[in-house]
Amino acid sequence: MEIIRSVSELKEKVAHLKADGRTVGLVPTMGALHAGHISLVDRARRENDAVVVSVFVNPTQFNNAKDLQTYPRTEEADCALLREAGVDIAFIPTVEEMYPTEDTRVFDLGEVAAVMEGPMRPGHFNGVAQVVSKLFSFVSPDRAYFGEKDFQQIAVIRRMVELEKFPVEIVDCPIKREDDGLAMSSRNVRLTPENRAVAPLIYKTLKKSVEWARDHSLEDTRRLVVDELNACPGLEVEYYEIVDPLTMQPLAEWSTPHNGCARGCVTCYCGDVRLIDNIKYER
Ligand code: PAF
């Protein structure tokens, strides 16, 4: 595996791969890698001739300075995992390399960014669009891989791809969970042992709500999740919305027309760690 830190070298290496007729899969990450990331890499490995993984804690998508400062950074361990997973190129730039000048682009992300994480984290999705569009223009990947834990983020990236007309296939990959159901996340390492013990209740409650939804209204199902999670000491729901899986717009009733299976998206504080998760309602 080659570790590349400069944009020009990255472009040169990718140009060689493409000149040899090889397809390229890109897995954008912010490092602190875990088995969830590696499942994206494995899929990219199976579906492409070469795999590039970017490891970059992108400052423009953090709207909270403390969150940026405390975001885990584990480059050595990340490189060991990526090498073992058979990655061809790890792209690990500095902030100055990614943003030699301030990125002032404002993307018209529309309705998919106007709900849930959008208003809760102003500027977050624009920052994601900035960094992912830069990565796409450097690598011109055939496919790019994103985890469904950040369900709304995938819709935002699809919108950015549509705006910028990148010829890339966006591949969404299922959430990887710990044995007790907690969605894998780089932020989980910040949970105290007490918080870690209650965090699996998030997924347990989401699963219970899928059963409950069979003979309850959408609003009752939404309430169940909010009330049951808020009743657990150590957990506090920021929002729970049951949304259209493409437009991200909250649904009022199960019968509201939508594009496929409704998705329940939760953001919940566990102590001072903000965790997100989601579940599909196949009713
Ligand atoms: O999901 C993430 O880890 C980040 O938002 C991403 C897509 C790598 C952009 O920084």
- Angle at alpha carbon of residue 177, lines to 125 and 80, rounded to 5°: 80
Cβ neighbors of 137 (< 8 A, separation 6 or more) are 166
Which H/E stretch holds residue 53?
Answer: strand 50-55
| Ligand 1 atom with the shortest distance to the CA of 61 | 10
* Cα-to-centroid distance, 257 and ligand 1 (Å): 31
**CA–CA gap between residue 114 and residue 242 (Å, rounded):** 15
* Cα-to-centroid distance, 54 and ligand 1 (Å): 9
Quickly list H helices, the chain.
Answer: 7-19, 35-47, 65-70, 75-84, 95-98, 117-120, 124-139, 151-164, 193-198, 201-213, 218-230
**Average pLDDT over the chain, rounded to an integer:** 97
* Cα-to-centroid distance, 236 and ligand 1 (Å): 24
Residue 256: per-residue pLDDT: 87
Residue 107 has pLDDT above 80, yes or no: yes
> Residue with structure tokens 């088995």?
35
**CA–CA gap between residue 25 and residue 8 (Å, rounded):** 19
- Residue 133 pLDDT class (50, 70, 90 cuts): very high
- pLDDT single digits (tens) 49-89: 999 999 999 999 999 999 999 999 999 999 999 999 999 99
Active site (annotated) includes residue 16? no
- pLDDT single digits (tens) 86-106: 999 999 999 999 999 999 999
**CA–CA gap between residue 75 and residue 151 (Å, rounded):** 26
- Residue 124 pLDDT class (50, 70, 90 cuts): very high
Specify the residue with its C-alpha closest to ligand 1, atom 9: 128
- Residue 257 pLDDT class (50, 70, 90 cuts): confident
Residue 201: per-residue pLDDT: 98
Helix, strand, coil tally for the chain in percent (to 5): 45, 20, 35
Average pLDDT over residues 110-119: 98
Residue 274 has pLDDT above 90, yes or no: yes
| Ligand 1 atom with the shortest distance to the CA of 29 | 8
* Cα-to-centroid distance, 30 and ligand 1 (Å): 6
Tokens, residue 118: 């959008």
Report which of 208, 213, 206, 265 is spatially closest to residue 241, judged by C-alpha positions. 265
Residue 258: per-residue pLDDT: 85
Question: pTM value?
Answer: 0.97
Specify the residue with its C-alpha closest to ligand 1, atom 2: 29
Residue 282: per-residue pLDDT: 92
Specify the residue with its C-alpha closest to ligand 1, atom 8: 29
Catalytic-labelled residue, pool 16, 34, 37, 216 = 37
* Cα-to-centroid distance, 152 and ligand 1 (Å): 12
Contact 104, 126 (CB under 8 A): no
Contact 204, 180 (CB under 8 A): no
Phi, psi of 280 (to 5 degrees): -95, 135
Residue 160 has pLDDT above 90, yes or no: yes
Residue 119 has pLDDT above 80, yes or no: yes
Q: How crowded is residue 33: how many other Cβ atoms within 10 Å of its Cβ?
A: 25
| Ligand 1 atom with the shortest distance to the CA of 147 | 1
Residue 227 has pLDDT above 80, yes or no: yes
Residue to mutate (ligand 1; options 34, 61, 156; most atoms within 8 A of CB): 61
Pocket of ligand 1 (CB under 6 A): 28-30, 58, 61, 128, 131-132, 150, 153
Sign of CA dihedral 238, 240, 245, 247: negative
Residue 283: per-residue pLDDT: 76
Residue to mutate (ligand 1; options 26, 133, 150, 158; most atoms within 8 A of CB): 150
